Every structure is written in structure tokens, then in C-alpha cells.
Chains A and B, each alone.
Chain A
């Protein structure tokens, strides 16, 4: 039972990072400028690196001989338990940067707390990731400020992004049996407890960007139960294409 909860927790964390890493990598070759064309795949590399470490650990926990690739490429849509925020289509550059900032502002206190996790493997992954996510907050945060406090056009687009993303924020703070088991075992923090740190990071940046903190009229949920939006199927078709076409292909 405890093992099932740990496996579920590690997989959902890995899914968040894989899917967001994939979304970011879609920008490769399409960024508005060369420096950004390096920056986004660079962040994607961090996220996919973290996902790999987590999937490998999930495979070890499960102990059925699956590998990180089996988890990443060979599951069905309903078996992915990422939050809905990370699977949303990239939209424009403003939307992508706001989503990156939002996810990073959530993960930063999460990794920081997990660096002292009772689970040695997760503590090791977290100690490394917390340094990487700090860069993501700074980079995406600078863009949110620059665009929010920019031209009429950039400001309007950033405001639109805030409105579009708002319904997908609350889901990441939801507690369920899995998160409760992790808190009880001293493995991971209660996601609700991260809200204050998250709000503080976002409020600091939004104030500089002349953006209002969003109030979503409703929250979209379901990702943690494997219920995804339409965009997820297209994303997986792209992500899984090679392994589905050439099963077992290796480098």
C-alpha cells in the first residue's frame, strides 16, 4: 500500500516534468530570438533529465523490469497522471513563459522541502532540481515582467495568458490519498502548504509586471486521475510516435 502510493507519487511528478519538457521542446527552432531558442530547450533538458531520474526510480520501486522508456513512451493516456497545466498547448510566447513561471514557482518550494525527504533517492533528485528550477523562475519571471510591463500588445497578451492559465493553477495544490501518504511518511510536503510560497513568488513578479493576481471562477481538475484534455492525445501521438512505430527501438 505504501509502496503503491510512493510509486503513484513518483510517476505523477515524473509525468509533470516529462510533459512540460515536451511542450517546451516544441519551441525548438521557433523561438522569437536565438537566445530564447537556446533557453527553452535548455529548460526542457532540465525537466526531462529530472523526469528520467524519477521514471528510473519508479521502475525500481515497481520492480517488474520496466525501464524509464516504458514509463515515458508506452503507457496509455489514462495512465499519465500529470496536472492539466503542463499539457496545455503552448499558445503564444507570453503563455509559455507564464506557464513556465507558474509551474516553477510551485516546484521550487516542493523540491526545497523534498531535499530533506526521508526517501534518500528523492532527496538526491530534489537537491539537484532545486538549483535548476531557480533558473527557470528567474528566466520566465524576467519575461513575464518584460512583457507585462512592455508594449500595449505584449501587456495585452500577458493579461490574456494570465486569464487563460488561471483555471489550471489550483489543481497542483490538491491533496489526495497519495499526497497524504507521502506527508505521513515524511517523503514529500503537503501541496497545500506550498501555496504561500507560491503566492509570494507570483505576487512579487506580478507587481513588477503590472499584472493582477488572477481569480479563477472555477478550477479544471482531473489530471491526477488520468482524465486529460483534448490536447493531451495529440501531444502523446507526437511523443510516442517512434516507440509505437518501431517498438523497442534503441539508440
Chain B
């Protein structure tokens, strides 16, 4: 069955974009006189740019994980995963533009290591310059973008071709390509998190940081997949998706929430316990300036899914999934907000019209692009070798 964007969905998407753009303009007008204006403006762009880019990347990762493990149950929701991964090109453009402007402004106090003046006076930054310099930064960024894009295009093209020709040859090719992507992603998920997010707090480092960022991204992606599937179900699409598929997606949301919480705690506890000056500074700043938000978002992202999604019935209930999902999504956006803003602005960081406006603008764009991707192919893959298994999925 072909998917058609309803008029309502289009209005919501464009409404969000319009309202977001309006809020952003109001935010610009309000804070423009502020001498932190550019830092705040670009940090806000980085937060929402990265968050929504990561949703697409998480879907690409999840898709290749399913290919590499030759999973069967997901075949009925495969097009949903592909559609979310299809935000990747748009997300890359937005994130790329933000990074470009930041580089042009010598780091704009976000990436202080890009600033030649900081580099001249700062011993630590000078020592890290072999890795953290604008040219190598851009080489890496472009390598990530190219790799992600090529894999995405390959998966998508083969998926559409499989609809036409069938057989198992494409399946085995996807199996190999899925494994290849995971190898690249294992390295890139860490290094890209260091480059784009961790280098904001340039004096600080944590080897767990990449996995932490990745866990947050995976969790948000699972939420988006659940919400999109539920939305399509309420419109009467995806007749083959039953309670068991929803249950499985719910379990993934539950599990990845725990993965994220585990990473958060591992990073926090080790640094808290060792209590070494150059390490604790990261958390001291966040606790001093963002105590409520920092622990608040931990409670939202950990306690909510744990307590509410624990039972089997809750994972099969559309209303509960929607509610918890939206809460987690906001929680993970706050997580990215604190990661970026605390490092870039410290005590001057605020959630105002600028941050909310850009988040809504990107949310509208994201919804529109994902829905448009859904229209481009049949919602159920026609010749997926595991489609029959997926149609009879029952747990």
C-alpha cells in the first residue's frame, strides 16, 4: 500500500517549521545585542542539528544491525526504519552548514581549539593540535558524511531493487554491507562524538563519551521508530504489523534507555570516585549551573522508561508508548543541550526562544522529510526474504 501524506500531517509539519522559524527570529531579536549572541545562536544550531542528524544515523545503524544479524521480525517495519534513515542527507546538510559557520568564525567560542589566540596561550590545546585542528577536523567530518551517505544510498537502492527482482542475492549483499557498516560505525560513532561534541570541553576527555552519545542517539531513534510505526498504524497502514512488532520496538526502547543510563552512570561514577581535578570539572560545571536539568533529564531518561515500560502490557499499549516516547525524546534533546551548551556557554546558557525555536524548526523538517520518504516506496517491502516470518511474528 502506498502512503499518502495527509493534509493534517503536512499542516503540522509546516506549522512546526513556521512556528519554529518565528520563535527563532524572536529569539534572535531578543538576544542579538548580547555579546554571547553568535555562540548561543550556533550552539543552538549544533544542538538541534546534531540531535536530528543523529536520529537518522541511529536508524541507519539499526538497519545495518538488522541486516548483519539477518533478523526476521523487522521486515514489516523496514520501510519505516529506511524512511527515518532517509533524513540523513538533510541532517548532514544542516549539521555541515552549522559546523562550517563555526569554523569560519574561528570556533565561535564553541570549539575554542579552532581559535588561534586560544591555541597560542593554551598548552593543552597546543598538545592536542595534531588531532584537533580545523583541517583534520573537516577531513574527518567529510569522511564520516561520505561513508554514512554511501552506505545509506546503497541500502536504500538495494532495498528498492529487491522489491522488483526478489531472490536472495541482494539479501546476502545487504548482510555483508551491514557488517561493513558496523565496522566503520564502531570507530566513527566514537570519533565523531569526540570531534563534534566532546571537543567543546577541550581540556576534558572521557573514553566512554562516544558510546554515551551513541547510546543516547540509539534510544532516541528507537523512540522515533515506535512513534512513526504507531502513527502509521492509527492511519490504517501497515496491516501486517501486529502487537508483537510494537512490543519488540518497545523492548528496544526499554533496553536502549538502560544502555544509555548505564553509560551515563559509568562515566559519572568513575569520575566522581577518582575525583581528579581535570576530570571532575566537567560534572562540577554541569551540577553547578544545570543541577535541575542535568539530574532531571537523567530521571526522565532512566526512571520513566524503567518504571512505566517494564510490564509487557505497557509495551503493547499505544498511548503509554506515545507518552513515554515523547518524554524520552525531550529528555535526550535536553541531554544534547547540556552537553553542548554547558561547554560552550557555561553559566550563560539558557533555554529560550532561540533553542526551542530551532528544535521545533528541525522537528517540523524532520517530520516532513520522513513522511515524504515514506511515500516513495511501498510501505511493506514486497520481496524481503524474511517477510513471511515477519508477518507471522508472535511473541
Chains A and B are bound partners: no
Residues of A within 8 A of B (CB): none
